[in-house]
Amino acid sequence: MRKLFYLILLFGCSRTNQVNGQNLVGVWQKDSKEFGSASLDCYHFFNDGKFIYYFDGYDEANRTLAIKGIYQVKGDGRIIFKIVSSIEIEGGTYSKRGSTEHNGWAIIEHKGVKEIKQNSKEVVSSIEKCLDGDDKTPCFIIDDDKFFKIKDTPEDLFKK
């Protein structure tokens, strides 16, 4: 009887760290539960198996704003990504801004953004649930990066 109890405990605990497609839907920001004037790196996971990864909104010198693709969560603690396009700044010049948290450089006077099709291979990453101390904010870890849920409904900020 004692062995059965330990087996149930062992398998029950291991499942609590698993992530599935349903509990992943939403907006997940890297390293912070707080949302400011722009977001840090963040995933928008949709319930149809699509995702958008928005790069740090405070980095005004980054030409790639986001990547779009599809994802599949495996039951063994893996998530598989396939990138299908990137959203990139078209044209523009670099200018030095005042002292900022990042590098102080920004792209100014650009022509807009464009979506560029990508033909990438599948990327396999590890994924697991986590809790941040006593806090009940949902979070997960992809590879070594921690992401906190900041919104239940994802959105495509570049959709026309």
Pick the more confident residue, 158 or 64: 64
Give domain limits for the chain: 2-151
**pLDDT band at residue 150 using 50, 70 and 90 as cut-offs:** confident
What pLDDT, on a 0 to 100 scale, did the predictor assign at position 66? 94
What pLDDT, on a 0 to 100 scale, did the predictor assign at position 5? 35
pLDDT tens column, 1-17: 444 333 333 333 333 55
51, 70 contact by CB (below 8 A): yes
Share of the chain above pLDDT 90, in %: 36
75, 109 contact by CB (below 8 A): no
27, 44 contact by CB (below 8 A): yes
Q: Which residues contact 78 (CB under 8 A, 6 or more apart)?
A: 124, 125, 126, 127
**pLDDT band at residue 32 using 50, 70 and 90 as cut-offs:** confident
Single pTM value for the model = 0.76
